[in-house]
Every structure is written in C-alpha cells, then in structure tokens.
Chains A and B, each alone.
Chain A
Amino acid sequence: MDQLVFAAEVFMNGLMTGVMYALVALGFVLIFKASGVFNYAQGVLALFAALTLVGIQQGQVPFAHLINSIFGTHLEYFGWTVPVVLAILLAGAVMVLLAFLVEKLVLQHLVGQEPIILFMATIGLAYFLEGLGDVMWGADIKNLDVGLPQGISESIESVSANWFGYGFFIDRLDIWAAIIAALLVTALVAFAQYTKQGRAMRAVADDHQAALSVGISLRFIWVMVWSIAGFVALVAGIMWGTKSGVQFSLSLIALKALPVLMLGGFTSIPGAIAGGLIIGVGEKMFEFFIGPMIGGATENWFAYVLALLFLVFRPQGLFGERIIERV
C-alpha cells in the first residue's frame, strides 16, 4: 500500500516536472513550425532572457566589466531597482529587439538555404548569445525573485495526509508553472487560430512559397515567431531561474526538451505539453521503480529511451504532421 501511495506522489511530481520541460520545448516548436528550423539556441535564449530580466530588475549596468576595463571606471549598478512587471515587459522588449536583429543579421541572409544551414546558424547564435550574456551581465549566479512562491504546498500535503495517511509533496512553484504553462498554451493556440498574424504564421508553416504568393511577409513572420519564442524562453527562464538561480547551466535545460520534442512532435504545441508530461512521468516512475535496482541516475538517459520507443511506432511524434512524399 505504501509503495502505491509513494508511486502516486512520484506520478504527480512527474507531471509537474513535465510541465517545466514542456515550457522549454514550446519555444522549439514555435520556431520549427513557422520556419522549419530547429533552433539550437532556444536553451541559450532562456538563459539570456533570464539574465536580462535579473539585470534590469536589479539595475545592473550592462557591459559593466567591459566598460570598467576600458575606461578604468567602477560601474556595477545604477542604484535603482525596477518593479517586477515592468522588468518583465522590458526584458520582453529586449527579446523582441533580439528577434529583429536575428532576422536582420542572420536569417535574412540565409533565405532559401537548406534547413541544415539554418540549423548551423542557430548553433553559432547559441555560442554568440552565451558569450554576449556573459559580457553583458557577468558570470555570477543571480537570484531571481519575481514573487513566485516556492516550497511544499501545505494544503495538498494535509489533504493527501487525510486521504492516504501520507502527505504528498508538491512544490508550489511547480503548481504555478503548470498554471502559467496552461495560460501560455491557450494564448498561443488562440493567437494561431483567431488572429490575422496567427493565420499568416500557420500559412508560412504550411507552405513558404504559397504564403509569399498571397502577400504574406516572410520577414515579418520570422521576427514575430522569434519574438514569441523569445517570450516563451523568458517564461521558461523565469521558472527555472527561480528554482536554482540564474546561471549559465540554465542553457542546458534544452537537453531536457529534446526527448519531449521527439515524443510530442516538432510541430505541435499540444504535442509539446503532452510530450513533456509523458517524459516527466515516465522518467520519474522509472527512477522510482527500476532506478534503485540499477544504481539510480536513470532520468537523463531514460527520457531518450522513452522518446526513441515512441519514434519506432510514430516517427513523426505523437502529434507531429505525417510526412508523405509521393514519388
């Protein structure tokens, strides 16, 4: 009986962890859907967005180290702090500016190139952005506090203790992540379905040439999609940054999104959510039941095994579009 109750707790935590993975995966899906580009830099975008948010919030002088070493000054902070909402809006604006620059300086020059070339460009972009983030905001670990609660949810603990005789652990931050992810997905789906720009985005995703022929600006769509992906990266950065501080290992969360994408499909927003949940629950349950028998630390590799198993039966992922090529 105890094992069953513990397994239920692990299952619920798996779902919550899955939501955190899905938040990262969403950014990949958006860009892939609209441009067919696998954006290697998505993890670094989350890092850059979170660094920018903390920097703005704490009134940090950007490029302070560089300025100080050139001019011999001792700049570090402006001496003010920015309220959370305004800081998020400003960080969002920086991500839009970044999207514009990416389109102008990278993508525009690669129109018509093979997807692999665009993919390579995003690898370069990832390394560039990581370096830029370092030079701009420094390598120190930064505390991110946007007012999200953390720690055990006592109400869930007491309710489950009454029902099962064992209080479940659910992190309040994970509950908030689930709520925010649900709102984000609803907003993204509504945007894609019911707005002119959203329909244009879907048209570009379906067929670049056909979309161009009816007057849709490919450049505008790319800037828009990269801006939205930047905003999604900001949300993911906030969630992961609140969990363990904003630091450069944040970019590695992209590794957690890969099996989610393989499983959910690269082109489906609901697929990213479902994939995240399946990976989250799968890896946690495997670690709970099998992990102790084989020495533990199974989660990183098991997520990929699970994704590969799905690929055997559905190569396009759970919700991906079936690729039919006629000869």
Chain B
Amino acid sequence: MKRKFIALLAAGIVAASPALADLVVPNLSYRTGAYGANGTQYADGFNDYFTLLNERDGGIGGEKIQVPECETAYNTEKGVECYEATKDSGALVYNPLSTGITYQLIPKVSVDKKVLYTPGYGRTSAKNGTVFEWIFNAPANYWDGASVAIKYLLDENGGDLNGKKIALVYHNSAYGKEPIRTLQVLAEKHGFTLTQLPVDAPGQEQKSQWLQIRRDRPDYVIMWGWGVMNQAAIQEAANIRFPMENFIGIWWSGSEVDVKPVGAQANGYKALTFHGVGTDYPVYDDLQEYVIEPGKASQGGEHVGSVLYSRGMYAALVISEAIRKAQELAGTPEIDPEQLRDGFEQLDITPERLTELGLPDFGPEIKMTCDNHGGSGMSRMQQWDAKAGKWNLITEFTEPDQDVLKPLITEDSEAYAKEAGVTPRDC
C-alpha cells in the first residue's frame, strides 16, 4: 500500500512538472489581496500571449512554453518563496511585477544565474548591464518616465518651466521614491519647484495631501501610485476641482481600474505609457482565434485589451523574442538562462519586427546591449476619455533626457556595485 502510494505520488510529481525540454517562464502573479485587481489583468495578458505562441506556432522554435503561476499577493516574502519554489524547475526568466520583490531577487538571480525582466518597474539603475548582468528593464524605467513627464510639461509651456510649481504625490515605498532624485535634478535644471507628498500604503486616506495641494495650488501634479492609491488620488483631485489635464500619472497609475471608479470626473486625466492602447492591432485577432474562442484564455479572457492586460502581453512578447534570439545564437531551441541573457543582450525589436508580430507602433524599438539593459527609455502620454471609456494616445514616443539620466544611473549602479561587492563587467 505504502509503495503504491509513493509510486502514485512520484507519478503525480512527474505529471505536474514541466517536460524537460520545455521553456519554463514562471508567472509570479498576484490575483488576491489589495492589489489583486491590477495583478490579475497583467497576469492574464502574460499567460495569454504564451498560450497564443503554443497554440498558433507550437511554441518558440518548436519548444512549448510552460508558464507555471505562483501567487505572491504582492507580498515580498511570498514573492521570494515563489522564486525559491520554482527556480529549480528549469525556470529561465522572472517578471514579478513588484519593485519590492525585484529588490529582493536582484542578489538572488545573480547567484542562481536566472534572468530578471522588470519592464517599467524595479531598480532603475539596473539599466547598467555592466553591474546588473542578469537584470533587464527595457523599454523604460522610472527615471525615464519622470524625465518624459517633465519633457511633456516643457512642451506644454513653450520649453520653460521656470517658476512653475510641481507636486509629486507618491506611494511611500521603494517604488514611489524612485523618481525623486531625478525630479530633483530636473527641478534644478529647469527651475521649477518640486513639492513631495508621500502617501502611506495602501493610500485610501489622502485628505492631508490634497488639502495641501489645494492650499499650495501647484501648476501640475505628478503621481507615482499603485492600487487603491490611484483611485483615491484621482477622486480627491476631482473633489478639490484640480484640473485633470494638469494631473499626470506614471504608467502604473494609468489603467482603466484607476479612473473608472471616479466616473466622469476623471475625464482628461493623463498618464504615461510605454505601449499602445486598445485592441486595434492584428495580434488581438490571433488571440481571439487561437486563445479566446477555443476557451483557453486566462480567466476566460474578460480583461483582453485593457491597459494592464496589454502590458502583461507586451512583457511576454519581449521575453519570447529574447528566447527566439537566444535560440538563434545558441543554435538550439533548448536554451538555458545564460543563453537567454545573451539573447536579451542582443535583442533588437525593430518597428518592422513589431509589425510582423501583429503590433505595429505598439512600443518603441527595443535594442539592448551588454551595457544597456534598459533600451531607449521612450514613452508617450495617454489621456482618459471618460465618456468613451477609453484611453487615447496624445503624443508620440518621446526620448527622456539622457544627459541627466546617464550620470544618475552610473552613480547609483556604481554605489550598488560597491555595496554588494560586484565587479563591473567589461562590455
């Protein structure tokens, strides 16, 4: 009896494990807890793109992709547990959608030799590939976002922000504090005044911050929020009649779930994005045919086309292109994380390639190298149309101010290298 049980258990483990030759891309997602509404949409997009590749193309280079999901609840400890639980399953790359989890995983992946892909989040200075060999954060990072927001405001004000007042409302966490240094340098350069208004997580109660904004009357408010903090801030802005067109969120404060609860009053609110909006791209026809209609969509496909779904899908696309590149370089479809790192470092998703993939003009060109793990940093502005219930793109992709950002990235990454005892690579 005991032997039978052990045999059954072994058979169960073998059945549950990915086939040895499969490409394993764990999805460290969060569908529960305070940030579950955001995490669910992103995780669905991430899963569905890999399902599309499996169903339509038979995987990548003939290898099927396994996407085992592990629930982190946006909790750093659970995120690390998920990483530890999946790293020996042949995992190639991680995308935990959490800056807190990313900070914990950075030293771990460097030891375990796993790729960490953190598009639009995580540690900004990971862009420096000479120090952060295993981390990639293209197409854009937080400092890119801060710089593009200021560039947009410069354009709006005839190139002059001298004497203007800008308030930063931010999530009082590692994530929310990321843009402060950049904005301080940009304030010095362009002569605007920066007021910092931290909001403690989760951010349901923001009366003090918005009363201060009402008293100080800043010309613009920039927000670095996540989850309920976004809805509460947009509602408070509406309550004090702050002009929505002067309120700009980072890309994590610019999804449908952030504006819809506020209703018509959210009309005109702006947010950065590093990808296109809506479903008017050929890839969605393929998703419909191969994933949604056959009933293989994650969670039934109810979030298809939302901002966060598209972002999850885009992250999966970049990973799959890096895998493709790695297979090409290695001359074999069965790659390991080191080969995937090489694939990322030679990745070049040109506009033509994006069109071939069914997403014309969806994102900026992503070209990474050994020392540049962050790409061009280009992003664009979108604006909420409450009546139509959709985001509209209102600018082209804009390059950040690299003159300001490059020295900051060098300074921060070198400080990390010193602290962590990392010897920068020669690239």
- A: residues with CB less than 8 A from B are 6, 9-10, 13, 17, 20, 65, 68-69, 72, 74, 76, 130-131, 134, 139-143, 150-152, 169, 171, 240, 243-245, 247-253, 256, 284, 287-288, 291, 295-297, 299-300
Q: Does any Cβ of A come within 8 Å of B260's Cβ?
A: yes
B260:A141 contact, CB within 8 angstroms: yes
Enumerate chain A residues within 8 angstroms of B263, measured Cβ to Cβ.
Answer: 143
B211:A169 contact, CB within 8 angstroms: yes
Enumerate chain B residues within 8 angstroms of A287, measured Cβ to Cβ.
Answer: 208
Measured between C-beta atoms, what is the minimum distance from A216 to chain B in Å? Answer: 39
B34:A74 contact, CB within 8 angstroms: no
In the complex where A152-B241, A244-B232, A248-B33 touch, is A10 in contact with B208 (Cβ < 8 A)? yes
B33 closest partner in A (C-beta): A248
The list of the 6 closest CB pairs from A to B, nearest first, reads A245-B261, A249-B34, A297-B198, A249-B228, A139-B36, A244-B232
How many pairs, one residue from A and one from B, have CB atoms within 8 Å of each other in the complex? 107
Instruction: Name 14 A/B residue pairs within 8 A (Cβ), A-sorted.
Output: A68-B300, A140-B37, A143-B263, A150-B235, A152-B240, A169-B211, A244-B232, A245-B260, A247-B34, A247-B231, A248-B33, A249-B35, A249-B227, A296-B198
A248:B238 contact, CB within 8 angstroms: no
B299 closest partner in A (C-beta): A65
State A296–B199 Cα separation when bound (angstroms).
8
Q: Does any Cβ of A come within 8 Å of B395's Cβ?
A: no
B260:A143 contact, CB within 8 angstroms: yes
State A20–B205 Cα separation when bound (angstroms).
10
- B: residues with CB less than 8 A from A are 31-37, 40, 172, 196-200, 202, 204-205, 207-209, 211, 214-215, 227-228, 231-232, 235, 238-241, 257, 260-261, 263, 265, 295, 299-300, 302
B32:A139 contact, CB within 8 angstroms: yes
Since A143-B263, A152-B240, A245-B228 are in contact, a sample of 11 more A-B pairs with Cβ atoms closer than 8 Å, ordered by chain A residue number, is A65-B299, A69-B300, A72-B295, A130-B32, A139-B31, A140-B37, A151-B239, A169-B214, A248-B33, A249-B202, A295-B198
Enumerate chain A residues within 8 angstroms of B36, measured Cβ to Cβ.
Answer: 134, 139, 248
Measured between C-beta atoms, what is the minimum distance from B263 to chain A in Å? Answer: 7
Measured between C-beta atoms, what is the minimum distance from A41 to chain B in Å? Answer: 16
State A140–B306 Cα separation when bound (angstroms).
12
Enumerate chain A residues within 8 angstroms of B227, measured Cβ to Cβ.
Answer: 247, 249
In the complex where A152-B241, A243-B235 touch, is A141 in contact with B211 (Cβ < 8 A)? no
State A295–B207 Cα separation when bound (angstroms).
16
Contact for B240 among A139, A141, A169, CB less than 8 A? A169
Contact for A299 among B200, B215, B235, CB less than 8 A? B200
Enumerate chain A residues within 8 angstroms of B260, measured Cβ to Cβ.
Answer: 141, 143, 245
State A300–B302 Cα separation when bound (angstroms).
36
Enumerate chain B residues within 8 angstroms of A299, measured Cβ to Cβ.
Answer: 200, 205, 208
State A17–B208 Cα separation when bound (angstroms).
10
A247:B208 contact, CB within 8 angstroms: no
State A240–B207 Cα separation when bound (angstroms).
13
A9:B211 contact, CB within 8 angstroms: yes
Enumerate chain A residues within 8 angstroms of B31, measured Cβ to Cβ.
Answer: 139
A10:B211 contact, CB within 8 angstroms: yes
A249 closest partner in B (C-beta): B34
Enumerate chain B residues within 8 angstroms of A169, measured Cβ to Cβ.
Answer: 211, 214, 239-240
Measured between C-beta atoms, what is the minimum distance from B241 to chain A in Å? Answer: 7
Contact for B200 among A69, A140, A297, CB less than 8 A? A297
Contact for A134 among B32, B209, B214, CB less than 8 A? B32
State A126–B217 Cα separation when bound (angstroms).
42
B37:A247 contact, CB within 8 angstroms: yes
B302 closest partner in A (C-beta): A76
Contact for A139 among B37, B202, B232, B265, CB less than 8 A? B37
B31 closest partner in A (C-beta): A139
Enumerate chain B residues within 8 angstroms of A171, measured Cβ to Cβ.
Answer: 239
A141:B300 contact, CB within 8 angstroms: no
In the complex where A68-B300, A296-B196 touch, is A141 in contact with B204 (Cβ < 8 A)? no
B295:A141 contact, CB within 8 angstroms: no
Enumerate chain B residues within 8 angstroms of A74, measured Cβ to Cβ.
Answer: 300
State A139–B238 Cα separation when bound (angstroms).
25
Enumerate chain B residues within 8 angstroms of A256, measured Cβ to Cβ.
Answer: 205
A140:B257 contact, CB within 8 angstroms: yes
Contact for A297 among B32, B172, B300, CB less than 8 A? B172
Contact for A151 among B198, B232, B238, B257, CB less than 8 A? B238
Enumerate chain A residues within 8 angstroms of B232, measured Cβ to Cβ.
Answer: 243-244
State A17–B236 Cα separation when bound (angstroms).
13
Enumerate chain A residues within 8 angstroms of B295, measured Cβ to Cβ.
Answer: 72
Measured between C-beta atoms, what is the minimum distance from B29 to chain A in Å? Answer: 11
State A296–B216 Cα separation when bound (angstroms).
15
